[in-house]
Amino acid sequence: MSREALLLPIWELGPKKRYIYTWTCCNCGRSRINIMVEACPDCCTPRCAYCQTTKVQVRQSAFQYAHETQA
Ligand SMILES: [Zn+2]
Ligand SMILES: [Zn+2]
C-alpha cells in the first residue's frame, strides 16, 4: 500500500464545504463584514461584543466573496 492510499481517508474526512465568519455592525447595521476586518467599513466602529457574528457557508467563490465583503 502506498503512502498516498494511507493519506486518502484523511482527505475524505475533511468536509469540502467551507465556512467563513461575518459580522454585523451594531452601530450602523451593516452586515456581512468579513471577520478579518476589525472595524466597520461604513462607520469605522470596531467590532465589539454586541456585533452579531454569523457563520456563512461558502463554495469555491470564497475568496471572491471575501474580497467583495472587504470592499
Ligand atoms: Zn458600522
Ligand atoms: Zn458592535
Give domain status of residue 4, yes or no.
no
Looking at residue 23, its pLDDT comes to 97
Instruction: Give me the domain span that covers residue 64.
Output: 16-70
Residues 6 or more apart whose Cβ sits within 8 Å of residue 45:
25, 26, 27, 28, 39
**Tell me: the pLDDT tens digits for 3-49?**
665 655 555 555 567 889 999 999 999 999 999 999 999 999 999 99
Distance 24 CA to ligand 1 centre (A): 8
Q: Are 21 and 55 in contact (CB under 8 A)?
A: yes
CA of 60 to the centre of ligand 2 (A): 29
| Grid coordinates of 4 | 498516498
| Residue 58: band (very low, low, confident or very high) from pLDDT cuts 50, 70, 90 | confident
Does the pLDDT of residue 59 top 90, yes or no?
Answer: no
Whether 10 maps to a domain, the answer reads no
Q: What is the pLDDT of residue 31?
A: 96
Residue 52 within any structural domain of the chain:
yes
Q: Say how many Å lie between the CA of residue 11 and the centre of ligand 1.
A: 39
Pairing of strands 33-34, 52-58: unpaired
